[in-house]
Structure 1
Amino acid sequence: MNVLRAIENIRKDVLNFEEMFIESDMPDCFSRIYESENPTVSARELHEKLNIKTAFKDWFPRMCEYGFEDGKDFCSKMSETSPKGGRPSKDADLSIDMAKQICMIQRSPEGKQIRQYFIDLEKAWNTPEQIFARALKMADKTIESLKKDNAVLTE
């Protein structure tokens, strides 16, 4: 019984961890960071939060010239169509490491603030409790999937 209680407490810690960073002073644009085991950040959202004056279409290729590789450091994609309509724009999912490096390159107060946020996030993300909690989340998803598969087989 104590094991089940401990597991439930770890699950609560995961939610607290995510809420802590989502509700922090950092911009809400980084909420996607938690969608996978390998967190990413939208290049467009980072560009906006860094208050870059250069247009995104000019700025991002210049950032890529620092040796970042498509498929490794970022994945290019088309962004969602805006509610106002029009065609989707180009965007990229950046690794946290790439986002931190871009923040260092900018040498601005916003860059420093966002870089520190990523450093704090990485420290918290890599604690043993969070690693175990993510493993439990993955196990829960697997169990749910197996239950659904089993239900189909037993019908």
Structure 2
Amino acid sequence: MSEHLDHVARIQQAWARERPDLDVRPQGVIGRLHRLAEHLTGQLAVVYQRYGLGEGEFDVLATLRRAGEPFERAPGELAAFTMVTTGAMTKRIDRLERDGLVTRRRSARDGRGRVVALTPAGRKLIDQAFTEHMSNERRLLDHLTPEEAARLESLLTTWLARFETPLPPDA
């Protein structure tokens, strides 16, 4: 029977045997979400790497691109929208600037502030990478029926909302 169990079910079974005093049912959801996230991240990273990007660099370029003309944001906004520290953001911006995908300049509104903007090469790259990224996400989601995907999205939306404070609509 256990040869038909997935990895998480085998772990739950072992814990239930070893610690029958604990309810190990939460592992069924949390463990599978964690394992699924690892699989998905690996599959998504294939596309990022094809364009010479890590997940973080892809996020920065995508955030700038979806900002609309003139495709720029302050480094602090980028950090908030991509949920990383300002130190981590600085490293990402340094690499993207070195590769000619973004520029940094002083803000016209606030001479002390900085602005990060997509270069034409950065815009071209993220447009190509994002197109392939969406195709890849579609391929991954097609493992579910449209109805299953809609139910899962609804459940995840509800659950995530209980953890997160909504960002401004232009994030």
TM-score (norm. length: structure 1) = 0.35
Choose between structure 1 and 2 for higher RCO, CA contacts under 8 A separated by at least 6 residues. Answer: 1
TM-score (norm 2): 0.33
State which structure, 1 or 2, has the greater radius of gyration over its C-alpha atoms.
2
